[in-house]
Structure 1
Amino acid sequence: MIKFYKFHGTGNDFIMLDGRELKTAPNADEIRHLCHRQMGIGADGLIIIKPVEGYDFEMTYFNADGSLATMCGNGARCAVAFGFISGMSGPDVTFRAGDGGHTGKLQSLTDFKWMVEISMGDISIPEITGVSTEIHTGTPHLVIITQDPDSVNVPVEGRRIRYSEAYRINGINVNFLSIRDNRLKVRTYEKGVEDETLSCGTGVTACAAVAALKTGINNWFVETRGGAIEVKLKKNKNFFENVRLKGPAAMVFSGELTGWIHG
């Protein structure tokens, strides 16, 4: 039997597996089964961490539909906490994701909750910005500025855009953003989940970058449906650097997989 852990970062929830216990990663069908809300554990994605040369660990992230993704900001924050409790890393950590190397810093709040700050990759400044802006923060996002994200039917409108002619093949995450009183409110439709999620780390980062381009403010508190996240970044000529994402990560429960995936 293989042990699993259920984590969430501001409502963005993940199944965590210790790669040291796996001979191979679960296949796409197994991941879809495990992430299914009614027939499995239920999660927005599945994360495997294992030691790798040059870093404390490597994080491999799969969307709920079984597809491999490059980076997940909230998932990475949860991975830092999981690395800590599994003994792979300490409170200061280096890890590798699909988009390259990252650092993380962890502060224990309770036995099962941590405040985690991670570095994100540099963000290229898009040539075209406006009400709708395409931007890549480890995964592609479309940020749409609106008066009030709560007035948007995010599952319907996000799905319409994601499956439009422009994005049908490669997909895109769709974020609805409002900027008010130096605070951001964000709701996100995530490809791979194919629905709205309570929070999205790369999406929050994308929205903070777009807000920085619009206002010149580089530090933001971002309200998501699952809680608040802090984003800090520094604008250079053609890109943002020193991008940091900070927020809580919590372990919800753990259990054992009995015959659901191969060992």
Structure 2
Amino acid sequence: MAAARRGQGPLAPRFDQDYVGAMRDRTDTGLPFQKMHGLGNDFVVIDGRGTGLSVTPALARRLGDRHRGVGFDQLALIEDAPGADLALRFWNADGSESSTCGNATRCIARAEMDRTGKARLAIRTERGLLAAKDEGDGITSVNMGPPRLLWHEIPLAQEMDTLELPIEGAPTATSMGNPHCTFFVPDAEVVDLLAFGPAHEHHPLFPQRTNVQVVQVLAPDRLRMRVWERGTGLTLASGSSSCAVTVAAARRGLTGRDVTVVLDGGELRVRWAEDGVWMTGRTAHVFSGVLTPAFLEALA
């Protein structure tokens, strides 16, 4: 795979005009991308600022194929955003769009801070305007906004209390811009998430499907979480899920509002504050590459 040209940071240089409309008018230049991850929750990032570039479900599915593409949990497209530093759109590996992705937002915020020297960013997503800040030592925080707790905000198929749903195990429903269904269990390690996850992702109470978490309370400030992401499957980590389980645990009186979430890929600190849910942790830029013209042409 060819390396991207050198720049000041992981996202530099941005596309030049050679890439305008790259998915509509094929060129012989290929399409640059970045591969990043937050605690093993991995992403392909395409910088479309100033290009008018569009992403199709077919491109997302093909890129997400870990054998014939690049492979990712989510695909992120960076766009221009008047009134903000940048805008982000997200796609799952199955080609469906997602309104938010916490770890990808942190990864891109870290790269943009490194590129520009800024310590704070305003990032526009379908979720709204999110704040990101540099915590020093390569650690990045993102405010994922206030949780949505009413049944129609998640959304659920009918009116009910979201604290304990009428599903076996009495899970809690939360929206962090995408729906979450959190089960508190005695031992998160023994749950067969490959079966449990998809069965609940498609539960009829969730008309837009849902992310599914199994959570074990280790201490009043420490949670063990495993996650099944809608449209992606089993993942090593999930930022929005970490925020959702923190909110759910606090609502149920199991923890305080400042916890460490232990995931398969590492640990995140999550704090439910007055201004929203802050998520803090490390990120990684893995490599830069260029999608070949032949790869892109196959999508035509």
TM norm structure 2: 0.78
Report the secondary structure of 1:124's partner residue. coil
Q: Distance in 2 between the 1:242 and 1:141 partners?
A: 17
Within the candidate set 234, 237, 243, 1:196 is matched to 234
Residue 161 of structure 1 and its aligned partner are, at CA, apart by 1.2
Question: 1:141–1:102: structure 2 CA closer, same or farther, 3 Å change rule?
Answer: same
Unaligned runs of 5+ in 1: 235-239
State the match for 1:65 in structure 2: 94
Report the secondary structure of 2:283's partner residue. strand
Counterpart code for 2:108: A
Contact 2:38 2:282 in 1 (8 A): yes
Q: Distance in 1 between the 2:70 and 2:186 partners?
A: 36
Deviating above 4 A after TM superposition, structure 1's stretches of 4 or more consecutive aligned residues are none
Report the secondary structure of 2:52's partner residue. coil
Q: Distance in 1 between the 2:112 and 2:190 partners?
A: 38
Q: Distance in 2 between the 1:16 and 1:128 partners?
A: 34
Q: Distance in 1 between the 2:65 and 2:277 partners?
A: 33
Q: Distance in 1 between the 2:276 and 2:126 partners?
A: 18
Residue 203 of structure 1 and its aligned partner are, at CA, apart by 0.6
Q: Deviations over 1:128-160 (max 9, x none)?
A: 323411111111000000011111111211111
Q: Distance in 1 between the 2:142 and 2:45 partners?
A: 18
Q: Does 1:3 align with 2:37?
A: no
Q: Does 1:84 align with 2:113?
A: yes
Cα RMSD after superposing both structures? 1.8
Question: 1:8–1:26: structure 2 CA closer, same or farther, 3 Å change rule?
Answer: same
Contact 2:179 2:210 in 1 (8 A): yes
Unaligned runs of 5+ in 2: 1-29, 151-160, 165-169
State the match for 2:178 in structure 1: 139
Residue 51 of structure 1 and its aligned partner are, at CA, apart by 2.8
Larger radius of gyration: 2
Residue 192 of structure 1 and its aligned partner are, at CA, apart by 1.3
State the match for 1:256 in structure 2: 290
Contact 1:49 1:83 in 2 (8 A): no
Residue 5 of structure 1 and its aligned partner are, at CA, apart by 0.6
Counterpart code for 1:103: A
Alignment of 1:37-116 (within 5 A): 37-87=66-116, 90-107=118-135, 109=137, 114-116=138-140
Q: Deviations over 1:28-68 (max 9, x none)?
A: 11111111111111101111113311000001111111111
Q: Deviations over 1:2-34 (max 9, x none)?
A: 211100011110001111364322211111111
State the match for 2:244 in structure 1: 206
Question: 1:19–1:25: structure 2 CA closer, same or farther, 3 Å change rule?
Answer: same
Q: Deviations over 1:107-135 (max 9, x none)?
A: 564xxxx3110111111345332341111
Within the candidate set 139, 148, 170, 1:124 is matched to 148
Question: 1:95–1:159: structure 2 CA closer, same or farther, 3 Å change rule?
Answer: same
Percent of aligned positions that are identical: 28
Q: Deviations over 1:64-116 (max 9, x none)?
A: 111111111111101202323454x722111101110011012564xxxx311
Q: Does 1:171 align with 2:209?
A: yes
State the match for 2:272 in structure 1: 233
- Number of matched pairs: 250
Q: Distance in 2 between the 1:106 and 1:2 partners?
A: 29
Counterpart code for 2:238: C
State the match for 1:237 in structure 2: none
Question: 1:64–1:148: structure 2 CA closer, same or farther, 3 Å change rule?
Answer: same
Within the candidate set 235, 240, 247, 2:281 is matched to 247
TM norm structure 1: 0.89
